[in-house]
A and B are shown apart, each in its own frame.
Chain A
């Protein structure tokens, strides 16, 4: 996304939340680090202390995504906001879009897995939790970016099946 567009969004985001929206960094498995960003935690705290601000962000993110729909940062933010407000179906869809832009980012997968858990899709969710390395590898190997969720689900369940013997 052009820097100036993101800066405008950042400014608006800061005005509402009081902190900066940083570009989502990639949490590569091989880097062996925990979570790369603490956006989810900071917004969770805001959700409890000032839920109105989360609703405001939820409104604004729609406009921001119109400015740049292919931003992993904005898609992950949209997913997070949907997650916080218990709109897990939208959260799932946003995290899926973030994954299709950057399948190497483990944080996107983890967020997707928890959204699936809330949707009652435990098999798929556990499939990601317990086989995340295979899931990321085969997703890229099979070129599933842009594919529908059904294909991803089939792949996750197949990996699960193999893993559980």
Chain B
């Protein structure tokens, strides 16, 4: 599970050039004309090759700044560093980037869509020890540029505040009825997912509508990939925060998760995988308020009490999509 996926044919070059399947579905969605634009990161040395791939699929590509010293210690202490959430990096102009530095790129089918995404899509990088944060309005409009549903952009506006909310938990609370795997966004950085936005609910009708057409279109080109994505999306998940998420091989019965394998699917290179050991030792877990109780052979082996921090507050929840 969660291994790199190499398409048989459709968009295979994208994976080959990037040496990664990350954002493959988003690329497919732009190629298929379902998503207006996307942004991505590619090493400078692979930039020209990606440009050729885009041209081959009738897409336009535009570069922005390059990322340099990603997640370097101390960057969080830059001026305005407290506003940064996921990837923290220094920014450098393209001309000065080294071959291995990642270039922020925008990809779209039309010049209009490309320009709009570029203009609103500045990534908050650290320049001369100062975070260059874009205007709030650009951040919101960027959601529309990427083709996210209106209701989800609105929801993002209210709940994407890492100092107050767990956005994913708010979505969970806002979900009425059975969660649909078409609205599962947890796997977005783990290749096997159809959406890159956090939906307003896990059965958001606009998200489902969007995904149904994307899923059908990919199925025509790469049916095996769709099968794999669906399989991954229907796993049980334990979510603590956007950065700390786990998928399991197993199933939920009577609010208890019985499992035999754990996968960390949060962001980053593993520094957020803080509950790995205890989860791997267990075979069953359940929630008691905000506490995660872990059992092995029906015996208690440990509990997770997520710290109650003001920034990025962890509120664990267990979910499986159908």
- A residues adjacent to B (C-beta < 8 A): 32-35, 40-41, 44-45, 47-48, 83-84, 110-111, 114, 117-118, 120, 126, 129-130, 132-133, 163-164
Contacts and interface: CB of A to CB of B under 8 A. Distances in A.
A134 to B, nearest CB: 10
Contact of A83 (B65, B115, B137): B137
B83 A110 contact: no
Contacts of A33: 79
Interface of B: 65, 79-80, 82-83, 91-93, 95-96, 115, 119, 122, 127-128, 130-138, 140, 154, 157
Contacts of A84: 137
Contacts of B140: 44, 48
Contact of A164 (B80, B95, B132, B134): B95
A84 B135 CA distance: 10
B131 A118 contact: no
Given A33-B79, A110-B132, A133-B128, A40 B137 contact: yes
Contacts of B157: 45, 48
Contacts of A40: 135-137
A84 B78 CA distance: 28
Given A44-B137, A45-B136, A114-B138, A126 B80 contact: no
Nearest to A111: B135
A126 B93 contact: yes
B83 A47 contact: no
B80 A34 contact: yes
Contact of A117 (B83, B122, B128, B154): B122
B25 to A, nearest CB: 28
Given A48-B140, A48-B154, A164-B96, A129 B131 contact: no
Given A117-B119, A132-B128, A34 B83 contact: yes
A34 B154 contact: no
A40 B137 CA distance: 8
B69 to A, nearest CB: 15
Given A34-B80, A45-B157, A118-B119, A129 B136 contact: no
Given A34-B79, A40-B136, A84-B137, 7 more contacts: A34-B133, A40-B135, A40-B137, A44-B137, A48-B140, A129-B132, A130-B128
A129 B95 contact: no
Contact of A129 (B80, B82, B127, B137): B127
B127 A130 contact: yes
B137 A47 contact: yes
A44 B157 CA distance: 10
A106 B290 CA distance: 43
Given A45-B157, A48-B140, A129-B127, A114 B80 contact: no
B311 to A, nearest CB: 15
B154 A130 contact: no
B135 A44 contact: yes
A48 B136 CA distance: 11
B135 A114 contact: yes
A33 to B, nearest CB: 7
B103 to A, nearest CB: 14
Contacts of B65: 126, 129
Nearest to B92: A130
A34 B128 contact: no
Q: Which of B115, B133, B136 has the most CB of A within 10 A?
A: B136
Contacts of A118: 119
A121 to B, nearest CB: 11
16 contacts: A32-B79, A35-B133, A40-B137, A44-B137, A45-B136, A48-B154, A84-B137, A114-B134, A118-B119, A129-B91, A129-B132, A130-B91, A130-B92, A130-B93, A130-B127, A132-B127
